[in-house]
Structure 1
Amino acid sequence: MNHYGVEPLPGLPSSVTICEVGPRDGLQNEADIVPTEVKVELIERLVAAGHTVVETTSLVHPKWVPQLADAEDVLRRLDRKPGIRYPVLVPNRRGLERAVDLGVTDIAVFGSATESFAKANLNRTIADSLEMFAPVVARAREAGLRVRGYLSMCWGDPWEGHVPIPQVVSVASRLIGLGCTELSLGDTIGVATPGRVNALLDAILATGVPIDRIAVHFHDTYGQALSNTLVALRRGVTTVDASAGGLGGCPYARSATGNLATEDLIWQLDGLGIRTGVDLDQLAETSTWLAARLGRPSPARTVRAMART
């Protein structure tokens, strides 16, 4: 808990939903395999701390993400609570059918705003990847599932550099057109700055996409994640992706360092009087517990600071 005072700023939402991505995005890049029981306990601890959306795992082939080879075991062992959303990343129709069989109610597909990353991550062009997603999204929506569309490399790409806004808007519009119920704009390598975040949101909103269908997903490579988040909140975004303890990266983009730490985000939001429903002390305790099992200190500034006080 922030004991140092609360002072709101005008133009910000009264509450924010945090999409906690630690169990999937946070762990997927860990070199050593994390035991299934640790993953399950992590998810259950995150829910106990107050999270209502916890991205749980990915139903991809173990060859591509060995860390998540136990996805089905995790989902079977997990004590899924009513009213809590447990999104699962699915790569294709087969992954969707597995998800449906396992009782999943929220899925995500992972697209790219650049051809280079589409090739590196999916071994497809942007057009081919969207063609692959189309039946997945359609089938999921027919089954009553919510579908999140991740759009990576929205502000920069390690191979292509600057990504033009019209290029991002084009792919974003096509993802929404497929039927995605939410669009998460990803700064995969952490190069965005506040003005550029504002400009992209301007352009996407101008196409008619409602602000309540947009989420943001910032990495903190250059220390800009919190300032970028604040700009998004001022524009009306109310869903922010973050990872407990600041874990994460991307196995297909070496310059993608850790996600925005959930604890750092909550410290800011608590100080602004914005409700999240997540208990910061309990969450920091969870990140400290996980760091001990990963064999290194938590990279989150707030977790480290709270441990000293």
Structure 2
Amino acid sequence: MIWPENVTIKEVGPRDGLQNEKVMIPAQSKIDWIDQLSETGLSYIEVTSFVHPKWIPQLSDSIEVAKGIKRNPDITYAALVPNQRGLESAIEANIDEISVFMSSSETHNLKNINKSISDTLPVMKDVIGSAAKSGKTVRGYVSTVFGCPYEGQVSPEQVFRVCDQLFEYGINEVSLGDTIGVASPRQVALFLERAVKRYDISKMALHFHDTRGMALANVLQSLDYGVEIFDSSLGGLGGCPYAPGASGNVATDDLIHMLHNMGIQTGINQEKLIKAASMIQSFLEKPLPSHQMAVYNAQ
């Protein structure tokens, strides 16, 4: 197989990684961690989410965190936005890129957003349009692409219907999420075989969770289809708060180790990345679940 020479890693730890953590991390600690991440060579960091605090208390300090970080002009600082009110806060905080989110399965969308897919799409359209008018790029997260905790396997057609609408509304990129970590390499191959014929590969990212230990295998399969953008969370932090048992995203440190040893460049410094992982590990007062951090902690 001909793999890409370069891959873009989009770090989602400060948002997707922390949102499910029970230990409340002070805003200044989050700021310090994001500033440390900004020194690693990452080109993209999702720093927070502007959802209502009652849904995700851990991220209730979103404006303080977004305003407090040191901005590196070479990095895109993104945030998750659920609606117009969240968008107003994100713009106030000078977020570079807006991320909107919805599920490809009806039941998960109802549990996650409290709306049907048909009722969610007009909200997405308004937010995407308003963000674009404000000069912001927009990323669309589509969840439960490879399986739903309530409905089981999700058909590619179901996923494509949602993606088609989001692209029509003006998103710049879609992140396809294995939200509960059920995908296998074969399933990923069958999906991408169709997806790469339908969408511009440069506008597609994969977002794998590692619930069943398949995330790196699924990344490898995606590379075979020319995918060059992956979401990951440092140390393997994360999980879906609405999908019990879902573990964190593929760990950024494990992913970087694999890619660099395959000769695929990311622009990320592994030593600095481990330093940033050690910092958030100390804040959480527990070992991070990634393999690289298990090695680091054993030294």
Give TM-score scaled by structure 2 length: 0.97
Q: Determine the structure 2 residue equivalent to 1:236.
A: 226
Q: Determine the structure 1 residue equivalent to 2:239.
A: 249
Q: 1:303: Cα distance to partner?
A: 1.5
2:254 and 2:283 map into 1 onto residues whose CA distance is 21
Q: How does 1:1-309 map to 2 (within 5 A)?
A: 10-207=1-198, 209-308=199-298
Q: 1:172: Cα distance to partner?
A: 1.5
Residues 3-47 of structure 1, C-alpha deviation per residue, up to 9 Å, x if partnerless?
xxxxxxx41111111000000000000112111011111111111
1:290 and 1:154 map into 2 onto residues whose CA distance is 29
2:175 and 2:239 map into 1 onto residues whose CA distance is 16
Q: 1:306: Cα distance to partner?
A: 3.4
Whether the aligned pair in 2 keeps the contact of 1:158 and 1:255 (CA below 8 Å) is no
1:120 and 1:202 map into 2 onto residues whose CA distance is 30
Supply the AA of the counterpart residue of 2:183. Answer: A
Whether the aligned pair in 2 keeps the contact of 1:21 and 1:55 (CA below 8 Å) is yes
Q: 1:285: Cα distance to partner?
A: 2.0
Residues 225-276 of structure 1, C-alpha deviation per residue, up to 9 Å, x if partnerless?
0010011111111110000010000111113211100011001001011111
2:134 and 2:195 map into 1 onto residues whose CA distance is 28
Give TM-score scaled by structure 1 length: 0.94
Residues 49-94 of structure 1, C-alpha deviation per residue, up to 9 Å, x if partnerless?
1111000000111011100000000011111111210001100011
Percentage of pairs with the same residue: 43
Q: 1:160: Cα distance to partner?
A: 0.6
Q: 1:205: Cα distance to partner?
A: 2.5
Q: 1:98: Cα distance to partner?
A: 1.6
Q: 1:206: Cα distance to partner?
A: 2.7
2:187 and 2:163 map into 1 onto residues whose CA distance is 16
Q: Taking structure 1 as reference, are residues 229 and 120 closer, same or farther at Cα in structure 2, changes over 3 Å only?
A: same
RMSD of equivalent CA atoms? 1.1
Runs of 4+, deviation exceeding 4 Å: none
Structure 1 segments unaligned to the other structure (5+ residues): 1-9
Whether the aligned pair in 2 keeps the contact of 1:23 and 1:56 (CA below 8 Å) is yes
Supply the AA of the counterpart residue of 1:205. Answer: V
1:252 and 1:203 map into 2 onto residues whose CA distance is 28
Structure 2 segments unaligned to the other structure (5+ residues): none
Whether the aligned pair in 2 keeps the contact of 1:169 and 1:203 (CA below 8 Å) is no
Residues 94-116 of structure 1, C-alpha deviation per residue, up to 9 Å, x if partnerless?
11122112222201001100011
Counterpart secondary structure, 1:48: coil
